[in-house]
Chains A and B, each alone.
Chain A
Amino acid sequence: MTEAQRVECTSLLRVDGLKTEIRQRHATIRAIDGVSFSVAQGETVGLVGESGSGKTMTGLSIIGLLPPGGRVVGGRILFLGQDLARLPARAMRAVRGSGIGVVFQDPMTSLNPCMTIGDQIVEPIRAHRESDRKAARRRALELLDLVGVPQAKERLKDYPHQLSGGLRQRVMIAIALSCDPKLLIADEPTTALDVTIQSEILELLGRLKAALSMSMLLITHDLGVIAGHADRVIVMYAGRIVEEANASELFAQTRHPYTGALLASIPEVDEGTDRVLYSIPGVPPDLSQDRQGCAFAPRCDRATGRCEVDDPQLEGCADHSAACFNPLTTEEGSGRSPMHAVAVEPRRPPPSSADKRAPLLVVDHVVKTYPVTTGVLRRRIGAVNAVSDVSFTMTQGETLGLVGESGCGKTTLGKMIVALERPDAGSIVFDGIDLTKQSNRATRTMRRNFQLIFQDPYSSLDPRMRVGPALREPMVINAIGNGVSRDRRITELLGDVGLSKEAVRYYPHEFSGGQRQRIGFARALTLSPRLIVADEPVSALDVSIRSQLLNLIKRLQEAHELTYLVISHDLSVVRYLADRIGVMYLGKLVEIGTCEQVYGRPAHPYTAGLLAAVPIPDPARERAKRRIPVNGELPSARNPPSGCRFRTRCPRAQERCTVEEPVLQAVSGTDHQAACHFPLVATDVGKSAQRDGSRAFGSDGA
């Protein structure tokens, strides 16, 4: 049997020369331009790429749910002997939900808010199996049990908004699996979820895939997710496949420069911060334009004249192929060091903790609650403890990273520091002045000292204001300078953030996401602030753009002598940026210390669990790493658990944790503090044995 025949008969899905276009008013976007691959029985194929790479469109083409204007214009999609690209609507409907199940990205919006969970699961069962109502309900109950939804029976009558994000994604999976599909397409199934929930969901998907002998097409931008869960990986760029290989092979022997660059642009959670992150220059190509040569050539540091003229095709064996004229050599492609070599630049040493200057910011026992009321007279019956009793200090020029899952209070804390919210108790002293005691007017004049950078560069700029006036406004409000000096300042700042001065004439929508975030930085810098609170500054950006911004953030710190408070759920981003890290859980600061301390020797079981949950873009390490479960769901902030708030999810919890609330106390060194009765780090444990959080936990298991 030839190789081709073998593929033919074992593959469940074979995509052959797929071309998909999206017609828009003024242009036609070639979203997928000749993509071929197959998914074998029982196999998990990972489809990786940045936004616009065509990975999601590939999934949507397969199930025939392209957005308006979208159309498959060429190629075949063979699934169980049928060409899905040419299937009439009715036959296609029979495949959807039955032969192929889909899990979409955002469980918050992917379920109908007006229908109960039960009705939504029953729907496909009744459509495809024609079983009676009662049998379908029994099946729905079974499915909820299968995907690990606790108290499944009561949940059937719940509406989606009554469930947490993780549970909703489990419901989505139950819907996708309801009719025993042969293929599961999971499109960014965990991107919208917290990292501890992400690992649970990925594990669940892997387990179910094996148990139900399905195949899976796992679409994601996250190479870490792919590393741990895909058998084979397909890397897409600008609507084409640039590299395809077995997972271990791809990470160990990268061939395409784009894949190599992507891997090098990801800051890693177990990696030091003393290097400048590699970043891919430029932006992805406009897919409505005719392409000539390799689409990646303009951003590729290996491009030659030929790359701009000829179109590279996938070459190599069945196990590993890449579309490149100048692929990375075996040596270059192994490990990630060569890419680093290109980029390594010395980085400023963090301000040493020995340097005991007067702190710039002192946050002291800060509390913020939001009341919960009831009755005709809105009697107060409780409160959501957004931030309870948090204290820390920041010195001039340092970067403090604040990490934690959604709902831990990190954003509320950030808002209080920039005086957008007032704490209920405690004080926030900025440069000797207590912000909580200032009048509104005094706060307003203080504001120029601390600025906020927002997560979403699409909604944080006024769409009807050109960039020039948007940057000028803060100076006008604060009556700083005159027309000429303001314009000079704007030009200077645009240069600093890497934009041309022409930018002032354009509207925000004329810029890409990365550029918009740069504008956001320029806006924050107009008033020469001393402290910048950056709330998820790069979460909305693609990997290759993200690393550009991360480097910019560091560069600006040196140029403008900034102090940063970086808030993020992404532990690797925070590790890359921060000198010190604070970990928050349910409104409490549970651990704080330098990067090396917190990441190298986490003391709080929650920190260790968080670290272990971060997927590492390296299959060998990702699969070898020990799982530390942070079990179950986040408790309600309205009735936080007594004693230690983490105890309900903590594998080390004991009687004492229920009764006595732990306070922050030094664990190793004076700077490293954790609020835990049974911290993981014994002071005498050697540093080398504690390199990653999982092992730290494992070796110290009580």
Chain B
Amino acid sequence: MFAYLVRRVGQAMAVVIGVSIIVFFLMHLLPGGERALLGARATPVQVHAFVVANGLNHPIWVQYVDYMGQLLHGNLGYSYHYNESVNSLLAANIPKSALLVGVSVVIALLIALPLGVIQAVRRNSPVDYVFTGASFVGYSMPVFWLGIVLIGWFALDLHWFPAEAPQGAGVGAAFSQPRAMVLPVATLVVVNVALFSRYVRSAALDNLVQDYIRTARAKGIPERVVLLRHMLRNSLIPVVTILGLSMPFIFSGALIVESVFNYPGMGLLFWNAAQIHDYPILVGGTLVVSTAAVVGSLLADLAYAALDPRVRYV
């Protein structure tokens, strides 16, 4: 197990370094970066000064080595546009996105688990058809449209919740205005429930026909126990996979929801940075998110072993 972990962490580091190379070089291939950043009226002298000041006149591999050297010291660079270190920008924005996405994923999971199980147990019944239909509607609905519809109903018509997410800087604002979080979270929950419940349903269906479920029933234990004790744990494996895959979104945020509800998080930060070619933010953000993706899949693999004693990593 320890050996496996060491090997996997080694692999993860290799992946992240690979990602950093690709991202770093691709970003610098984009034409007209300085121009876009400094504006059309910048004089050539000003542009040159900027290029020299930021080391952009060096060969690209030298820039990369410099960047990675800084990274080893925990320094992700300095944003040209915000005039602020990328570290502090991420520190301000990641918690907000993590809160939004994390809370949504947890709520979605709590709804999707029982929902999927009920659908599987009542397979091909009206209950199953209704929820299956609802899932497809939920999943195929464009997120921005869903967000706008929710605003239309619950904010503009019914005045139950504010149309805008909490505006304060930092994550504390979200806690001070919990009502304002309801609609953005709900939007993400609808989409995620639709997705998760499909996975749970199909995993549960696979497990319900297994021989050991029949054995459990032949023991004469109540059906509720059969489902909870025997089926559910065996059905969690695909759920763990999607949870692992959701990890990067906790760090990258949900761009569309963030922009519909004007909730400044990682999604919006990233979007704005891309518009103005703010390389340090883009590279730094991508690195953080890709690390999250790698860590997420590692955690998922470890969770498999915890769930299923047959899985042993050597």
Q: Do A and B bind each other?
A: yes
Task: Show the binding face of A for B, using Cβ within 8 Å.
Answer: 63, 65, 67-68, 89, 93-98, 101-102, 104, 106, 109-115, 123-124, 127-128, 159, 161, 172, 175-176, 373-376
The 3 closest A-B pairs by CB, nearest first: A97-B220, A96-B220, A124-B219
B294 CB → nearest A CB, Å: 18
- Contacts A112-B212, A114-B233 given: A374-B221 contact, CB under 8 Å? no
Query: Which residues of A have CB within 8 Å of B222?
Result: 93, 127
Closest to A25 in B: B124
Q: Which of A112, A123, A175, A376 has the largest number of chain B CB atoms within 10 A?
A: A112
Contact A175 B215 (CB under 8 A): yes
Some 10 contacts from A to B, beta carbons below 8 A apart, are: A104-B215, A109-B212, A110-B212, A115-B229, A123-B219, A123-B221, A127-B221, A127-B225, A161-B310, A373-B314
- Contacts A93-B222, A113-B309, A113-B310 given: A65-B217 contact, CB under 8 Å? yes
Contact residues, B1-25 vs A (CB, 8 A): 3, 6-7
Contact A110 B214 (CB under 8 A): yes
A140 CB → nearest B CB, Å: 13
Q: How far is the CA of A161 from the CA of B229 in the complex (A)?
A: 18
Which listed residue (A68, A96, A101, A128) contacts B217, Cβ 8 A?
A: A96
Query: Which residues of B have CB within 8 Å of A94?
Result: 220
Contact B214 A65 (CB under 8 A): yes
- Contacts A104-B211, A376-B6 given: A114-B307 contact, CB under 8 Å? yes
Q: How far is the CA of A66 from the CA of B143 in the complex (A)?
A: 44
Closest to B237 in A: A114
Q: Tell yes or no: B234 within 8 A of A by CB.
A: yes
Contact residues, B187-234 vs A (CB, 8 A): 209-212, 214-223, 225, 229-230, 233-234
- Contacts A175-B215, A374-B3, A376-B3 given: A161-B309 contact, CB under 8 Å? yes
Other A-B contacts than A93-B221, A93-B222, A97-B221, 15 sampled, CB-CB below 8 A, are: A65-B214, A95-B220, A101-B218, A104-B215, A104-B218, A109-B210, A110-B214, A111-B215, A112-B216, A112-B230, A114-B234, A127-B225, A159-B309, A161-B310, A172-B215
Contact A374 B314 (CB under 8 A): yes
| Number of B residues with CB within 8 Å of any CB on chain A | 28
Contact A111 B310 (CB under 8 A): no
Q: Which of B7, B211, B229, B310 has the largest number of chain A CB atoms within 10 A?
A: B211
Query: Which residues of B have CB within 8 Å of A175?
Result: 215, 219
Q: How far is the CA of A65 from the CA of B215 in the complex (A)?
A: 10
- Contacts A104-B211, A109-B210, A113-B309 given: A127-B219 contact, CB under 8 Å? yes
Contact A114 B308 (CB under 8 A): yes
Interface string of B222-250 (1 = CB under 8 A from A): 11010001100110000000000000000
Task: Show the binding face of B for A, using Cβ within 8 Å.
Answer: 3, 6-7, 123, 209-212, 214-223, 225, 229-230, 233-234, 307-310, 314
Closest to A96 in B: B220
Query: Which residues of B have CB within 8 Å of A95?
Result: 220
Query: Which residues of B have CB within 8 Å of A101?
Result: 218
Which listed residue (B215, B216, B310) contacts A159, Cβ 8 A?
A: B310
Which listed residue (B7, B209, B218) contacts A97, Cβ 8 A?
A: B218
Query: Which residues of B have CB within 8 Å of A89?
Result: 223
B218 CB → nearest A CB, Å: 4
Closest to A92 in B: B220
Query: Which residues of B have CB within 8 Å of A98?
Result: 220
Closest to A162 in B: B309
Q: How far is the CA of A96 from the CA of B215 in the complex (A)?
A: 10
Q: How far is the CA of A109 from the CA of B210 in the complex (A)?
A: 7
Q: How far is the CA of A63 from the CA of B215 in the complex (A)?
A: 11
Closest to B217 in A: A65
Query: Which residues of B have CB within 8 Å of A93?
Result: 220-222
Contact A106 B214 (CB under 8 A): no
Q: How far is the CA of A699 from the CA of B211 in the complex (A)?
A: 45
Contact B234 A113 (CB under 8 A): yes
Contact A110 B215 (CB under 8 A): yes
- Contacts A106-B211, A109-B210, A109-B212 given: A65-B218 contact, CB under 8 Å? yes
Closest to B4 in A: A376
A187 CB → nearest B CB, Å: 10
Q: How far is the CA of A95 from the CA of B221 in the complex (A)?
A: 10
Q: How far is the CA of A98 from the CA of B229 in the complex (A)?
A: 20
Q: How far is the CA of A123 from the CA of B216 in the complex (A)?
A: 9
Closest to A373 in B: B314
B196 CB → nearest A CB, Å: 21
Q: How far is the CA of A574 from the CA of B216 in the complex (A)?
A: 38
Query: Which residues of A have CB within 8 Å of B218?
Result: 63, 65, 96-97, 101-102, 104, 176
A248 CB → nearest B CB, Å: 32
Query: Which residues of B have CB within 8 Å of A63?
Result: 218
Which listed residue (B220, B234, B314) contacts A112, Cβ 8 A?
A: B234
Q: How far is the CA of A172 from the CA of B7 in the complex (A)?
A: 39
Closest to A68 in B: B123
Q: How far is the CA of A123 from the CA of B212 in the complex (A)?
A: 13
Query: Which residues of A have CB within 8 Å of B314?
Result: 373-374
Query: Which residues of B have CB within 8 Å of A128?
Result: 220
Contact B3 A115 (CB under 8 A): no
Q: Which of B214, B216, B219, B308 has the largest number of chain A CB atoms within 10 A?
A: B219
Query: Which residues of A have CB within 8 Å of B220?
Result: 93-98, 124, 127-128
B298 CB → nearest A CB, Å: 16
Query: Which residues of B have CB within 8 Å of A112?
Result: 212, 215-216, 230, 234
